[in-house]
Amino acid sequence: MPFFLSHEQNNFPDVELADEDGLLAFGSNLSVETLLKAYKEGIFPWYNENEPICWYCPNPRFVLFPEKLRISSSMKVVIKRGTFKFTVDRNFAGVMKNCRIAKRKGEQGTWITPDIETAYHSLFENGFAHSAEAWHNTKMAGGLYGVQLGRVFFGESMFTDESNASKFAFIKYVQLLQEKGVGIIDCQVYTAHLESLGAEFITRKDFTKLLRMLIN
């Protein structure tokens, strides 16, 4: 049974108490302090508009170890061709907006509510959230955003307006994060798209153990 947290409360229960879907608690707030505390413990917010804030820590956890990144032959051609230009933190607001309005198969609406946008803009302004963009000429063709703490990057969402654009941004950003010493990228939940790039499941216990090692 998920725990209820008052608006002022951000002391999360033990993640091993989450239910079978990974739901741990609901309530609390989306302040920078609360979000950072949650991420450090492997917890993230995920809910729809007009619902209370829901906090998740699924088991198993879907992650990518940067050194296991898989780049297909076709993507190597795309990268070599120079179709897209790669940037970081150039248009965080635009990436979040495009992730919010992106049409996703089998999904209605979006979990990126106005409150979520405001909260992650605050994280960005404080240096914790980041975006990666793929540009085709002067148009942003795809991108992703997430949160970095220590040597962990927590991926949140991605979008694409052109074929291979988000995959290009993801590959280039993973390579950059690896150069900077990031040891694990949290993909949160399974997608076939990320599996094709090398993501895999690990247990929640192993994930939280890695967080303690990689976040100082």
- How do residues 97-154 score in pLDDT, each as one tens digit? 999 998 755 454 468 999 999 999 999 999 999 999 999 999 999 999 999 999 999 9
Alpha helices in the chain (DSSP H): 32-40, 73-81, 92-101, 114-125, 165-179, 192-196, 204-214
CATH 3.30.70.3550 fits 3-58, yes or no: yes
How high is the pLDDT of residue 1? 76
How high is the pLDDT of residue 87? 98
Within the chain, all domains assigned CATH 3.40.630.70 are found at 62-214
How high is the pLDDT of residue 96? 97
Inter-CA distances, 37 with 32, 41, 130, 152, Å? 9, 7, 18, 14
pLDDT tens for residues 154-206?
A: 999 999 999 999 999 999 999 999 999 999 999 998 999 999 999 999 999 99
Within the chain, all domains assigned CATH 3.30.70.3550 are found at 3-58
d(Cα 21, Cα 79) in Å, to the nearest integer? 37
The residue with tokens 């993640």 is 15
pLDDT tens for residues 42-71?
A: 999 999 888 999 999 999 999 999 999 999
pTM of the full predicted structure?
Answer: 0.95
DSSP-derived 3-state class of residue 193: helix
- Using an 8 Å Cβ cutoff, are 135 and 83 in contact? no
pLDDT tens for residues 65-89?
A: 999 999 999 999 999 999 999 999 9
Q: Domain spanning 62-214: which CATH class is it, in words? A: alpha beta
